[in-house]
């Protein structure tokens, strides 16, 4: 049988290497790791590599992905990263050891449901240190909630506190920011007269503190996805050296369906494109171009794909087609040829979520 395209090839040995590198780098500084699987829509084979590579907890924003992990025999504790919806409380309690929280009403619902299921559910209270996504903003309210969980909610266990930066507000996990989190943990620990198990200092961007070896004492946990899966952001946006991490875990392969010489400027009266936009077209004369059978429906935005071959430029896309300028490509392209692309986080989340894209696994 012929291979079907488009395909997303996942190199499990490269992935395993990255999991171990990040786990070890964190462990050296007393930081344990939650491996975050939402970037690949929780593909169970990927989750298994995370688990085998030594992460302590498997985390996702989506219960469906955590359910998949469990159904595939993953035995690590599971953590729901997005604040639970009241409509999903029952499954949060039955499935997850941990959830991240910021609302008293949700904590109360979790406590009730855990009592009903005769379970103890562990919660991490989120603090908003300025990124302005989730978390308690009022620090007194945070401490009050912590005390309430500790003293009044018999079926909840206050596992710790955490923060998230660099997601909405683009705030950096500086030493100062993370020290704010440790200070809040200390206040709570004094009041409850015990240590918190988890002080969770953020996501991939907080690995900057691990690489610089200046993670404040007291931060003992991070929740990392992107650096393990792609290892692009720290290097691309912050110029951090992550040469020890492999960038070749994912390769997108798409099939050429047309290859012709055409004008580079549309011919006729110009209206709007398939998505109602008015792109600017530059007239570069007649050019060699190719069409591949993949489009915005599959990956979101064509600027998030990176051709592996020199001389290939993505010039546009509609739902199901991507248009390439191949004038400078060294060689001929014809229908049936396969082209390869690197991807980033944005295209990865779409591609793994798309049922038209075949996921295949390889090893070195
Ligand atoms: C997605 C997410 C993470 C992981 O983020 P990466 O940048 O992929 O490491 C960590 N924590 C929370 C709350 C998240 O939603």
Give the pLDDT confidence of 89-139 residue by residue, as tens digits. Answer: 999 999 999 999 999 999 999 999 999 999 999 999 999 999 999 999 999
Q: Are 108 and 128 in contact (CB under 8 A)?
A: no
What's the whole-model pTM score?
A: 0.96
DSSP-derived secondary structure letter, 12: H
- Closest atom of ligand 1 relative to the 223 alpha carbon: 10
Task: Select from 15, 33, 36 the residue to mutate for testing ligand 1; criterion: most ligand atoms less than 8 Å from CB.
Answer: 36
Token pair in block for residue 10: 């996942």
Token pair in block for residue 100: 């991240």
Ligand 1 atom 5 nearest Cα: 203
pLDDT of residue 54: 98
Question: pLDDT tens, 25-80?
Answer: 999 999 999 999 999 999 999 999 999 999 999 999 999 999 999 999 999 999 99
Q: Considering only CA atoms, which of 36, 15, 33 is closest in space to residue 24?
A: 33
Distance 34 CA to ligand 1 centre (A): 9
Distance 167 CA to ligand 1 centre (A): 8
Residue 1 pLDDT greater than 80, yes or no: no
Instruction: Return d(Cα 151, Cα 46) in angstroms, integer.
Output: 39
- Closest atom of ligand 1 relative to the 226 alpha carbon: 8
Distance 222 CA to ligand 1 centre (A): 9
Question: pLDDT tens, 309-321?
Answer: 999 999 999 999 9
Ligand 1 atom 7 nearest Cα: 204
The C-alpha angle with vertex 266 and arms to 307 and 306, in degrees rounded to 5, equals 10
């Amino acid at each position: 049988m012929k291979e079907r395209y488009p395909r997303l090839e996942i190199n499990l040995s490269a992935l395993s290497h990255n999991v171990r590198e990040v786990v070890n780098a964190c462990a050296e500084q007393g930081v344990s790791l939650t491996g975050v699987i939402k970037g690949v829509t929780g593909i169970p084979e990927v989750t298994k590599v995370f688990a085998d590579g030594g992460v302590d907890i498997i985390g996702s924003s989506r219960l469906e992905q955590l359910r998949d992990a469990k159904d595939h025999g993953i035995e690590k504790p599971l953590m729901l990263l997005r604040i639970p919806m009241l409509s999903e409380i029952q499954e949060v309690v039955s499935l997850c050891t941990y959830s991240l929280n910021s609302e008293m009403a949700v904590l109360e619902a979790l406590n009730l449901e855990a009592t009903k299921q005769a379970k103890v559910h562990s919660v991490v209270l989120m603090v908003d240190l300025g990124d302005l996504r989730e978390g308690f903003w009022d620090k007194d309210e945070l401490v009050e909630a912590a005390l309430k969980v500790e003293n009044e909610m018999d079926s909840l266990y206050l596992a710790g506190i955490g923060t998230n930066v660099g997601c909405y507000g683009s705030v950096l996990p500086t030493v100062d920011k993370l020290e704010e989190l440790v200070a809040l943990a200390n206040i709570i620990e004094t009041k409850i007269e015990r240590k918190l198990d988890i002080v969770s200092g953020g996501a991939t961007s907080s690995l900057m503190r691990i690489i610089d070896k200046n993670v404040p004492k007291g931060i003992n946990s991070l929740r990392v996805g992107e650096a393990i899966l792609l290892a692009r952001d720290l290097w691309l946006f912050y110029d951090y050296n992550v040469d020890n991490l492999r960038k070749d875990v994912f390769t997108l392969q798409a099939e050429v369906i047309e290859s012709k010489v055409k004008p580079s400027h549309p011919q006729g009266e110009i209206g709007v494109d398939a998505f109602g936009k008015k792109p600017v077209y530059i007239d570069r004369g007649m050019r060699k171009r190719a069409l591949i059978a993949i489009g915005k429906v599959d990956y979101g935005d064509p600027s998030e794909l990176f051709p592996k071959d020199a001389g290939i430029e993505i010039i546009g896309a509609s739902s199901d087609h991507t248009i390439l300028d191949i004038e400078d490509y060294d060689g001929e392209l014809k229908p049936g040829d396969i082209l390869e692309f690197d991807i980033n986080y944005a295209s990865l989340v779409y591609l793994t979520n798309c049922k038209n894209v075949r996921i295949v696994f390889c090893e070195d």
